[in-house]
Amino acid sequence: MNKIKSIKAEIENHPTYKVPRRIYDIRSAKPTDKEPRKIAESMLKKIAKDLKIKSNLADLKFDKVKKTILGSHVLYQQYHEDKPISGAWIRVDIDKDGRVYNINNDLVPESVLVKTKKKSKARRRRVKVTARGDIAESAAGEITAKEAEKRAIERAGARKASSNKVLQNELVYYPHRGIPTLARKIIVKTTKPIAEWKIYLDAKTGEVLYKNNQLKDANGKGRIFNPNPVVTLNDTTLKDSTRIPDSAYSEVALENLDDSGMLDGAFASTKTTSNRIRRSNHQFIFGRNDRGFKEVMVYYHIDSIQRYLQQIGFNNVFNHQIAINIDGTTEDNSHYSPFDKDLTFGTGGVDDAEDAEIIAHEYGHAIQDDQVPGWGESHEAGSMGEAFGDYLAASFFAEIKPSILKPTIGNWDAVVYSGDEPPCLRRLDSNKRYPKDIVNEVHTDGEIWSACLWELRAALGRNAADILVIAHHFLLNRFATFENAANALITADKNLNQGRNESVIRDIFVKRGILPNSKRNNKRAGLPFDQQE
């Protein structure tokens, strides 16, 4: 294990900056009743030399303290020349007794910032000598905000008929290949194709430094599928054109509704849906051929999932209203928008909002983004995002599903495209291993992670596994790897269960190749020794 000089703890090093990226198993901390922010600042000053940042924390700006089931999480962002460095955050995790037990660090070392500053000064000197009147946009040779927006829309690849909207345009530093580079951060929403692009452009050249589509795959009485007719009727031969009998439906109470007569409540609202249904008596009894049925589906299931989260201890994970459009796209696809914080469902094939497991999967993206804003910047983090959505859907409905359907999701949605028996969007009982089965597609690679979570649920039971799975997200960052997350599950278990489940967790992830096997020279399962570092 790597060590840190200033305190007794274990560390994982940052792959680029070679400073501690994660500090855990901190043994020098003592209980205190001080405010979390003061505890965090004291700890950061103590380890500043190890992190290679200014000892007075002058480049850090306090963001917030978030309280969770694991304690308090204090978050800071790093600034350079009064501009934020994108992705440069540090989070200090403090338990309920005031002890720091985990730190996640993505700050840029001071030595790198000094080089950035020298480079910026040299650039400004060159501009004064060579640019003169050639660059009218900026004395420093930077492209204008308007020009950046134009280039971002072009780089987004929107088709001619697309309606495009710039949601954000900010001057920041973006760590391009580890070096903070002055950049325009542009978020642009396009309609053809439906996408929400986060694009970083070099502030001088307009070159694309990074591009990523952020869209993530929404008291009265109502009528719903719970979760869908394939499950309720235990009939895998159903088709989209099949007449669905009354026995496939359930009548349910719609809780948390306001007095508007529409499906608006504490945790869900169909307010972004056009031509919404309104029932002043709050009786929303429809069949699948009625458009209002999908509104009831998304409202009921999201409200139910949120109330379950609060029941198991998570009372501040997206515990507010989410806006839902039940048929915002004709594609056979749905998404969560991290910028608008809303859900949109597609109508291609079986309408997505008719299958509660698709609804749960998309809501999983909202949950994860609330826990770790910007989640999914790395391929493995994105894969875990898809995997968590699958796990949430499978775990939430497993107890009411026939055995053959339990490890699958989206059985109703899949009847129009799946040749599997039973038809499904994906399975959670894959035998894939890491890294040999990685194919660099987030949904496919996510099956490795979801299979681990499904094994964990089988070993620990629903509630215990759900709590650990959701809790460990608080200990991650948006660039997390499979190995980071496996170790975070162990840390969460130590915090919540005094480490009682560590051997079970470790065994699952060692067998999958995600964690190295200490009994086999720290090599990973599934790959010959000569193919490993």
Question: How many Cα atoms sit within 13 Å of 427 on the Cβ side?
Answer: 12
- DSSP SS3 for 531: helix
Please answer whether residues 473 and 370 qualify as being in contact, where contact means their C-beta atoms are separated by less than 8 angstroms.
Answer: no
Domain 131-213 has CATH 3.10.450: yes
What residues are paired with 223 via a beta bridge? Answer: 251
Domain residue spans of the chain: 2-108, 131-213, 220-520
Please answer whether residues 318 and 372 qualify as being in contact, where contact means their C-beta atoms are separated by less than 8 angstroms.
Answer: no
CA angle 74, 79, 83 (to 5 degrees): 130
What residues are paired with 523 via a beta bridge? Answer: 517
Tokens of 346: 């597609």
Between CA 317 and CA 158 the distance in angstroms is: 34
The fold for domain 220-520 equals Neutral Protease; domain 2 (1.10.390)
Tokens of 217: 């795959």
Tokens of 239: 């088709």
Residue 78: CB atoms within 10 A of its CB come to 24
Three-state SS for 400-459 is: HCCHHHCCEECCCHHHHCCCCCCCCCEECCCCCCCCCCCCCCHHHHHHHHHHHHHHHHHH
Instruction: Identify each DSSP E strand in 192-238 by its residue range.
Output: 194-202, 208-213, 220-224
Query: Which CATH class name applies to 2-108?
Result: alpha beta
pLDDT tens digits for the chain (533 residues)?
467 888 999 999 999 999 999 999 998 778 999 999 999 999 999 999 999 999 999 999 999 999 999 999 999 999 999 999 999 999 999 999 999 999 999 999 999 998 877 666 655 544 443 333 333 344 457 899 999 999 999 998 877 778 899 999 999 999 999 999 999 999 999 887 788 999 999 999 999 999 988 887 538 999 999 999 999 999 999 999 999 999 999 999 999 898 899 999 999 999 999 999 999 889 999 999 999 999 999 999 999 999 999 999 999 999 999 999 999 999 999 999 999 999 999 999 999 999 999 999 999 999 999 999 999 999 999 999 999 999 999 999 999 999 999 999 999 999 999 999 999 999 999 999 999 999 999 999 999 999 999 999 999 999 999 999 999 999 999 999 999 999 999 999 999 999 999 999 999 999 999 999 988 888 888 777 667 76
Residue with tokens 């920041």: 172
Any idea what DSSP says for residue 475? Answer: G
pLDDT at residue 336, as a whole number: 98
Report cis status (omega within 30 of 0) of the bond before 193: yes
CA 79 to chain centre: 24
Residue 175: CB atoms within 10 A of its CB come to 23
Between CA 256 and CA 263 the distance in angstroms is: 10
The overall average pLDDT reported for the chain is 92
Closest CA to 448 of 429, 421, 425, 473: 429
Tokens of 467: 């709590």
Between CA 229 and CA 235 the distance in angstroms is: 8
Between CA 289 and CA 229 the distance in angstroms is: 14
